Chain A
């Protein structure tokens, strides 16, 4: 919207259409009590007035015919989808009663809460679990934590911010700064850097828009990023392209790395990664010898079975080549800001070893728990425990804004688990794919119907403002946890149910209340200060969040040779672990499944398993798709836009073939999260899971999870044929 009409008001608030790093400032235009348009907020330093298509389409989100407006209670069989309307109070009484009963019978750990991704409400989930007495936060395992773990236990910090503004070489590796956080600065910095002459290299199997703008596209075979990193270490070590002074002063065990990487030659990696030897060598050399060079290591590293090795290898590469905390490199020292710290609602100080030890399926080994966000059981393992009853069955699951049948591996097995699960609560703003198996469905408010929380990102603090009134008997995610806690007898730890008091508590160190913060319509921008680089002694001695508080790095140096992992029974040096199925590791499958399959979980317009019911977005990507090279398709008699069946050793999906000249001819790429229909466009849903890429992946406990961080690989072998 460009103008404010006479009867139109504009209200400052912030967006929540993506995650976990949502929070772009917006002006919401309201006419007669209805949201009519969205405008980017120039005053926000986060997005400077810019937005993405999800935000512009979000009126269709708020007013979707799929919105849930009343709580529902199951009346039919699980899976039947028969419900009756109940009130908010009845729903919460019902949930509280069952959880308290199960706590008495089976202990508090019988409850798990599945985490969609890091959200502004994540710490409320932790608070509830900790007060209840359960460690079972079921982390989705497809985002960030896997990378953070490998980085923290190698560099002492999970944070390696690429200094795009000063870089002469930028490597975007398995990341997508276009599809994620589009208006939030990374993309703009990369384009600006390129304009002033920096070289951009993008490593990924298909030419997505970031690769399209790159000086060099490195079309790596899916799942082999760790092999490429090991080969780059090999070149850097053997050609002595490392920073000797930094290695001597700040790295532990470099001498053990030298013999270790000898077997990972560029020739070896060439066969694994499907890249020319020269390209690998040149990439290693140019990175190692460009002083102002940075790497954006992306989400691809969380979804490979080699995750812990690959992340460590890239971290080591940054370290030994002298790219940590140098201008244009990767920044690991803290970003100083004049902004006070928000008081967390997490209660990590109440963790006990006894509670930690009860994790039903630790996402990372117990000795490394709790990690950054708190304790975590792997999402898939929480569900699997229902079936295996090992070490004990989870009996109640609350799923806030997450759809286990869509977004984790082994959907058929997940359905079995949900059928058997004693008590399943689904929370969402609209109908979702998991609802059919729910005992209770809790509707929650969209961001436009809430006056909380506040946004505190970087140096910007702003209160969310309510834009429109709620349209039924529901509240926000935040209010749900407070209300439920009161009913459970946990009110003293939950501000006796007052969201206002909860917000004021969190702002305690700012010297203002939420009401006072609200008097700054576009928030407060605090002064940001220049980075203090090279504070290595402090970073490398950072304490871990384990109960012992032991430092991440026992030697207070970069852990090239990792004694922490060695003591836990894992390799002290990064090895190569191939995908469960791949051309190099399972050649016996190639005759039947000659193509490599992988997927993405964001696209131009979608995130994970939602937003498909928004007509503006769905018209752009109407059908489940697989990207395929035209020659690969034609060899199979497949035309552009044909419906195809993609079949792996584990299952199949149906999708439309989309010809993509910029994809490896041996690879096909799909998109996660298809299940939803879009009534306005006459596009049907896929409730049978026939478009779910998770059908294709292994769930073999031995092969399908990184043994250290439970990363779930999104690579397999397939054949594609016309449907």
Chain B
């Protein structure tokens, strides 16, 4: 169980690091979608998790050290989530007012929740095993969960329309599958947030206090890592199979 837990987390961080950096490199030529997804994976997926894990490992450290690490990690996570929402807006609904409004509301909501979490001091509950004392942690988790949830929804919706294009020979099966894989990856992240929210609402404590939940979330992250890897680095055999069935 513990191995699955660690494997999921480590592989997710590795996938987020490698793919995030590669996307940032590709995004340097003024390609906004690549840049946004690169930020989402590198900052929100890798750096935030690395700092968050460090904060949890340093239980013996001073409150100040843990606070600094947690604020830094949490801020990066919010930046990653904002990048995800901006990606969903820019890629799927670039010229739509409602999508711009959703993105704006999310950015305002994310800034507000980060401020509230810092001011209330509740963010320390991410790095210890004490139960929460107010609604801010589950509320903030809920706000952050909206980013991958929206992106997953858009990917699945777009995948459905791409299947129609595929029938007319207007899309490559590899790309159609890639959209579905990104949807699965984002759904895994959203469900991970869902587990954390449920734990906070039921027990008040976080993942660290519930080994079964760590395993569950890590399994979800394992699915996310596998989907991202397959989408971004499709093996030659998989690529050939997709091309054959196009």
**Chains A and B come from one and the same complex:** no
Interface of B with A (CB < 8 Å)? Answer: none
